[in-house]
């Protein structure tokens, strides 16, 4: 593992920043006087790469791909260009690199925007969204609650990464308020269903992998790994009571369609490369098309915090992406087995990332054991599920020697349900 | 019900054509000398509406919306413009209407293209695709096969239209060959799963409803009905053996992702208006947000035929869209309950449309009762599931007094699986 790479942007040379030169994550931002365009986080600044492209300091192809409100066109250029862009940014921002930017006072002033002065937007157009159920501890916890520990894992679970298609239109940027949903509910004691606001609204701490290269037919695990452009934090907001009533026999539907929040910066697979790690030991040998061929998971520390309205922020769970049983590459490879075409901008949710201990659980459903064991916040108040006004925040970072590859926060505040479902 | 409306395009004045003046369905076509653009079927011709727009005979908005390879931009204009376009086309193509086209020999020759000389393309960009399970007979048949007649319907089935998110990238135009998929399978007698080509590849006869107006939060049933732009025939190709192994607990995934074929012409809700009918009597009262407020199903005769390679075409099932328990409007209204945003171009599959009798079953799974009772084609050969080289064709039409509103065929030929899954 290399140490901190130094930049002439001084705020990037701290062990605490999410965005050292080693990271260079991709986002979309706007300022009071300019529309949405592509930017790269560096320290406490955003580098306006659309401006650098128009000034000729970055040239990726025959037409501009950075003065756009999404990174999809860069992804379309393919992995060689991804590597070229990263190398060029390192050269332009690194201490002692190409002085074309660092040595041009006027351009520096125009191209570096303080993050505090910018508004962030969705970093890419989500083509389709798939959500998986590939965390061993989460599947075991949820299965135990519903079926007992002997039958916790479905028979297929150790053989394929179980997934379902989610709703791309549900994906929103961190910071977007989340309205508590209405839905059809039927508790075990209700004689018939009722249409009411969800009473068991929850989160799921996940990582999202972004497909950067399209494919038509089945692809190998190595191809899948190469096709992933980058990662974000992902919160799969989940209405447990709507889910319990609707999910048999065809899976979750409206329970997962209210919102899916993502963190604003795409952290590239290249930036995470030093943090690759293996999946846990296989409990059953995987079939050839899914068998691990190398380290494709990542060592990323993750946390959830909850802040009641007007209260203080409590960390309620801490876990790590390396707890997953299946990597995003395995999920993507499985996704293509039937000939399913994958497109640039497809987003794959990892599934809830829980660890072995109680404090490692990635959902309130698990933290409160289905509401039966409420947990306590730092200020002494109790929670089973989300209450109106609560702000839920996911954070994540890979930790290197003297630096961190951070994701920025993925947060959302839950607003009360509408008085009538129809506004 | 009005009778046949007459056109000066003589082939449109037949009781046998799918495309009389009453229909005016929307497609996308190309010819040897011109790229993909919007067209309208009339008799055995396609009216090049992109040309009429460029000539000023049709004007829908400030910028052209018809010289495009999709109808999404027309949908974006909203229901008033949809009505205006239909009225204008009726005026231009009707006998004794506006002579701007009929009286201009040169323009007529340029604007009418024989269907036989054109190539058809996907008529719209599919934003997201959702598939439902809303046919009472199909759900009962499948449930009986798996759980016995007493437990055939899941407890939620009579209260909500059960649906799952499908894969938009799987949607292809009628005529596209369908490659038998590979997948992970495990039969009841297999000690462990295996990765092999599907042995139980099937179809599902469905209607597809196209969302023409976007919505952000929950919408009423009446709003949902108004937001549907039109309908197509839809074949939800299904690998039953992949499905059986993967679908617990999160629903079908790769079993449904190989392909979803649609018919080439969008038949508008306006053209189908005379064929509106009620849903069947409710077995349990629906909650207020789903309760029927008017006739929102349609009386459309449907059939499936199967033609073995080099053999003759046998009709293997006949049914009607009016057999559905839930209308597309009810499905769309339910889809929005959680606040799920819907977009122009979203496609909703009705679910398999089976009727009460054996000959009314909309899938081979039901026709062969899970493979236990093979059915016989006209030439005496038997089928349980699809064999390589088989062409499956869906057909559909609403029958008026002396005319029919047809959909054109929705067909696909199944090619053998690749020797290796990776091409």
Percent of chain A with pLDDT strictly greater than 70: 100
pLDDT in tens, A166-214: 999 999 999 999 999 999 999 889 999 999 999 999 999 999 999 999 9
| Contacting B residues, span 16-75, partner chain A, CB-CB under 8 Å | none
| Residue partners of B345: CB distance under 8 A and separation at least 6 | B70, B72, B75, B124, B125, B126, B127, B210, B211
Query: Is A255–B418 a contact, with Cβ atoms under 8 angstroms apart?
Result: no
B195 pLDDT exceeds 80?
Answer: yes
pLDDT in tens, A209-230: 999 999 999 999 999 999 999 9
Domain ranges of chain A: 10-121, 129-415
The CATH T-level fold of domain B129-415 is: Fumarylacetoacetate hydrolase; domain 2 (3.90.850)
A1 pLDDT exceeds 80?
Answer: no
Chain B residues whose CB is inside 8 A of the A341 CB are 169-170
Nearest to B128 among A154, A168, A254 (CB): A168
Mean pLDDT of B250-265: 98
pLDDT at B1: 52
Q: Decide yes or no: CATH 3.40.50.2300 for domain A10-121.
A: no
Partner B contacted by A181 (CB < 8 A): yes
| Residue partners of A347: CB distance under 8 A and separation at least 6 | A126, A127, A128, A129, A130, A168, A171, A208, A209, A210, A211, A234, A262
pLDDT in tens, A56-81: 999 999 999 999 999 999 999 999 99
The token duo for A107 is 């351009």
Q: How far, in Å, CA of A383 to CA of A363, rounded?
A: 12
- Bridge-based pairing of strands A34-42 and A45-48 is antiparallel
Q: How far, in Å, CA of B5 to CA of A158, rounded?
A: 61
Q: With left for phi above 0 and alpha for psi between -120 and 50, is residue B243 left, alpha or beta?
A: alpha
Q: One of A121, A137, A138, A334 is an active-site residue; which one?
A: A138
Please state, rounded to an integer, the average pLDDT across all residues of chain B.
Answer: 97
Partner B contacted by A165 (CB < 8 A): yes
The token duo for A252 is 């979750």
The token duo for B374 is 């093979």
3-state secondary structure chain A: CCECCCECCHHHHCCCCCCCCCCCCEEEEEECCEEEEEEEEECCEEEEHHHHHHCCCCCCCCCCCCCCCCCHHHHHCCHHHHHHHHHHHHHHHECCCCHHHHCCHHHHHHHEEEHHHCEEECCCCCCCEEEECCEHHHHHHHHHHHHCHHHCCCCCCCCCCCEEECCHHHEEECCCCEECCEEEECCCCCCCCEEEECCCEECCEEEEEEECCCECCCCCHHHHHHHEEEEEEEEECEEHHHHHHHCCCCCCCHHHCCCEEECCCEEEHHHHHHHEECCCCCCCCCCHHHCCCCCCEECCEEEEEEECCCCCCEEEEEEEHHHECCCHHHHHHHHCCCCCCECCCCEEECCCCCCCCHHHCCCHHHHCCCCCCCEECCCCCEECCCCCCCEEEEEEEEECECCEEECCCEEEEEECCCCCCCC
The token duo for B383 is 């089928």
Chain A residues whose CB is inside 8 A of the B167 CB are 128, 165, 340
Give the ranges where B31-120 is alpha helix by DSSP (H).
Answer: 49-54, 72-76, 79-93, 99-102, 105-111
- Count A/B contacts: CB-CB distance under 8 Å: 196
Mean pLDDT of A109-136: 97
| Residue partners of A83: CB distance under 8 A and separation at least 6 | A270
| Contacting B residues, span 340-379, partner chain A, CB-CB under 8 Å | 340-343
Query: Is A338–B287 a contact, with Cβ atoms under 8 angstroms apart?
Result: no
- The pTM for the full model equals 0.98
B264 pLDDT exceeds 90?
Answer: yes
Percent of chain A with pLDDT strictly greater than 90: 97
In angstroms, the first-to-last Cα distance of chain B is: 53
Partner A contacted by B140 (CB < 8 A): no
pLDDT at A423: 78
Query: Got the DSSP string for B221-270?
Result: HHHHHHHEEEEEEEEE-EEHHHHHHH-TTT--SGGG-S-EEE-SSBEEHH
3-state secondary structure A364-416: HHHHCCCCCCCEECCCCCEECCCCCCCEEEEEEEEECECCEEECCCEEEEEEC
The token duo for B226 is 């108004």
Partner B contacted by A415 (CB < 8 A): no
Mean pLDDT of A121-141: 97
Please state, rounded to an integer, the average pLDDT across all residues of chain A.
Answer: 97
Q: How far, in Å, CA of A392 to CA of B155, rounded?
A: 34
B387 pLDDT exceeds 70?
Answer: yes
Query: Is B252–A255 a contact, with Cβ atoms under 8 angstroms apart?
Result: no
pLDDT at B363: 98
Kindly provide the ipTM of the predicted complex, given to two decimals. 0.97
Phi, psi for A372 (deg, rounded to 5): -80, -25
pLDDT at B250: 94
Nearest to A170 among B127, B247, B340 (CB): B340
Q: With left for phi above 0 and alpha for psi between -120 and 50, is residue A339 left, alpha or beta?
A: left
Partner B contacted by A250 (CB < 8 A): yes
Query: Is B165–A170 a contact, with Cβ atoms under 8 angstroms apart?
Result: no
How far A399 CA lies from chain B's nearest CA (Å)?
Answer: 34
């Amino acid at each position: 593992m290399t140490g901190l790479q130094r930049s002439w942007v001084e705020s990037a040379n701290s062990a605490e920043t999410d965005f050292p030169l080693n990271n260079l994550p991709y986002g979309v931002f706007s300022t009071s006087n300019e529309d949405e365009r592509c930017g790269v986080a560096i320290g406490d600044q955003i580098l306006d790469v659309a401006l650098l492209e128009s000034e000729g300091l970055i040239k990726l192809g025959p037409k501009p791909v950075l003065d756009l409100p999404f990174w999809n066109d860069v992804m379309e250029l393919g992995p060689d260009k991804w590597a070229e862009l990263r190398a060029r940014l390192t050269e332009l921002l690194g201490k002692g690199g190409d002085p074309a930017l660092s040595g041009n006072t006027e351009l520096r002033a125009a191209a570096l925007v303080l993050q505090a002065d910018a508004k962030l937007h969705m970093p890419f157009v989500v083509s389709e969204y798939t959500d998986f159920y590939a965390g061993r501890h989460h599947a075991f916890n949820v299965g135990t609650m519903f079926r007992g520990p002997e039958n916790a894992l479905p028979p297929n679970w150790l053989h394929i990464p179980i997934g379902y298609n989610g709703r791309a239109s549900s994906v929103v940027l961190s910071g977007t308020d989340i309205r508590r949903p209405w839905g059809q509910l039927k508790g075990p004691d209700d004689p018939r269903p009722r249409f009411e606001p969800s009473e068991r609204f929850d989160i799921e701490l996940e990582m999202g992998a972004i497909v950067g290269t399209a494919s038509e037919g089945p692809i190998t695990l190595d191809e899948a790994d190469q096709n992933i452009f980058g990662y974000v934090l992902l919160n799969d907001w989940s209405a447990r009571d709507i889910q319990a009533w609707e999910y048999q026999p065809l899976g979750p539907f409206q329970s997962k369609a209210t919102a899916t929040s993502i963190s604003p910066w795409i952290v590239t697979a290249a930036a995470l490369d030093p943090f690759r790690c293996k999946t846990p030991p296989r409990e059953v040998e995987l079939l050839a098309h899914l068998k691990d061929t190398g380290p494709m998971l990542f060592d990323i520390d993750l946390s959830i915090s909850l802040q009641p309205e007007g209260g203080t922020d409590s960390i309620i769970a801490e876990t790590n992406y390396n707890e997953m049983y299946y990597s995003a590459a395995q999920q993507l490879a499985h996704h293509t087995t039937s000939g399913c075409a994958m497109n640039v901008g497809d987003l794959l949710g990892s599934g809830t990332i829980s660890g072995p201990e109680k404090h490692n659980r990635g959902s309130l459903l698990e933290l409160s054991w289905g509401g039966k064991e409420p947990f306590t916040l730092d200020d002494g108040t109790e929670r089973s599920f989300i209450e109106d006004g609560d702000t839920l925040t996911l954070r994540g970072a890979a930790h290197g020697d003297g630096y961190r590859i951070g994701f920025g926060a993925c947060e959302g505040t839950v607003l009360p349900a509408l008085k009538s479902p129809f506004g």
